[in-house]
Structure 1
């Protein structure tokens, strides 16, 4: 039986829109609300922040994967094999749905067999050693500005929900929405619920959360570095491009959106793009998940 046949949501092949909706709803359902009992001073307005290259320099899943690799979660050969496949898809720019279906169904396959509590505990350590010093102070200050105005602030990221929650908690934010990995009795299956929280799925997550929390999206704000997040940015009344890629920068100019760049100098910006591209390839590899299940060291 293929993983698809065992998929908890029945249908062998969901179309992209269904997968986005499912991923968005799963992320919203898993969104952690730290201050659930507190009534915010401004309950209908909230801010949504992308993580990679927006809140944090580089890709959080890349930093997570590196930390897990140090702890022998998977071998170098496994992760590099998947990285090249993902880089190829990115360069060629066409994803054959049939070929990608298997990769998606086993995304985050490298955590299969590990427990949620194990990943959460290691995630705390990995945040301290590999992520804390990469937080952009300027973006963090913007998030704090929304909190100071009595608005709730959520992270919305393709990173696994477990790591997204740790980042939100450490930064004192309201909560996080991220990619939801399926687990049964606290043990990861290696498959996703729906799809990665990426592009259109982020907008679906925000819509589901807005409905649940009574938010007025025209009063909400969103922040991202990537044109991939145009669905999320276009959903709210106040969008801001942070460290934007070229396509987002020009779109933001046309729309009159705020633009903030915390990268210093052209050289740093250029190096940042190279690092982002490399991290993107590896993060995709981690997501494509090292269709590898063996070699778990406990």
Structure 2
């Protein structure tokens, strides 16, 4: 059996789901439009520049989730999927994922974006496993209201390795369990996990990852 891991934003979808979710909340009038949009754009620029303070960003991104019941959030997310995400999912990305599923690979998405935003997107691809930053709930129950904090290690940079290894261990596996291990990502922030797998694939890579991939002789794939 082989292992196939995928980043999500700008890898399987040609947008950033975290950033778009923030824009979606602005459109709903749930948050202060001017202030929230400014901060949302600033954090997104910091991420692309490699200067993101992830702790501050997560406090910002998770705060709106803690202010509404889960049922209301679910209704909003269904509309977010319908109007923002599903229209941009490409046949090329679906074909890539399906090729690994058809091969019997163990498939999962490893993303820094929180699981509330990303789980329905991953399900839309038919990918069975998600490793994402986990929002904490008020009493620890998975269906309770969010409290604005993070549960466990954020799935960001080196945290992606720690979270992936914990997930593999929960399934009775480690890196040596597989004939090959592949990770697809667009971001130089994911170089730690790309260097961990046996088959790193720079997918729609940003400028710095493209340069790094060319220097290392990694495969480069442009889906979009």
Would the alpha carbon gap of residues 53 and 92 (structure 1) be closer, same or farther in structure 2, given more than 3 Å must change? closer
Q: 1:241 is matched with which residue: 177, 192, 202?
A: 202
Q: 2:25 is matched with which residue: 63, 68, 89?
A: 68
Q: CA contact under 8 A between 2:116 and 2:135: conserved in structure 1? A: no
Say which SS state the counterpart of residue 197 (structure 1) adopts. coil
How far apart are residue 137 of structure 1 and its match? 2.7
Q: In the aligned structure 1, how far is the partner of 2:49 from the partner of 2:187?
A: 19
**Could you say what the CA RMSD is over the residues aligned between the two structures, in angstroms?**
2.6
Q: In the aligned structure 2, how far is the partner of 1:138 from the partner of 1:179?
A: 26
Residue 217 in structure 1 maps to residue 171 in structure 2: no
Give the corresponding residue for 2:187: 226
Say which SS state the counterpart of residue 172 (structure 1) adopts. coil
* Greater relative contact order (Cα < 8 A, sep 6+): 1
Residue 184 in structure 1 maps to residue 184 in structure 2: no
Say which SS state the counterpart of residue 67 (structure 2) adopts. coil
Q: In the aligned structure 2, how far is the partner of 1:91 from the partner of 1:150?
A: 34
Stretch moving more, 141-150 or 105-114: 105-114
Say which SS state the counterpart of residue 118 (structure 1) adopts. helix
- Gaps of at least 5 residues in structure 1 are 1-41, 264-298
Would the alpha carbon gap of residues 254 and 237 (structure 1) be closer, same or farther in structure 2, given more than 3 Å must change? same
How far apart are residue 169 of structure 1 and its match? 1.1
Q: CA contact under 8 A between 1:106 and 1:191: conserved in structure 2? A: no
Would the alpha carbon gap of residues 215 and 135 (structure 1) be closer, same or farther in structure 2, given more than 3 Å must change? farther
How far apart are residue 193 of structure 1 and its match? 2.2
Would the alpha carbon gap of residues 215 and 52 (structure 1) be closer, same or farther in structure 2, given more than 3 Å must change? same
Q: In the aligned structure 1, how far is the partner of 2:130 from the partner of 2:49?
A: 32
Q: CA contact under 8 A between 2:22 and 2:37: conserved in structure 1? A: no
Q: CA contact under 8 A between 1:107 and 1:191: conserved in structure 2? A: no
Q: 2:214 is matched with which residue: 253, 262, 275?
A: 253
Structure 2 length-normalised TM:
0.84
Residue 56 in structure 1 maps to residue 36 in structure 2: no
Q: In the aligned structure 2, how far is the partner of 1:91 from the partner of 1:202?
A: 17
Structure 1 length-normalised TM:
0.65
Give the corresponding residue for 1:129: 83
How far apart are residue 243 of structure 1 and its match? 0.7
Q: CA contact under 8 A between 1:222 and 1:238: conserved in structure 2? A: yes
Number of residue-to-residue matches in the alignment: 217
Q: In the aligned structure 1, how far is the partner of 2:3 from the partner of 2:170?
A: 13
Cα deviation 1:233-265 (Å, max 9, x = unaligned): 1121111111111221122223222111134xx
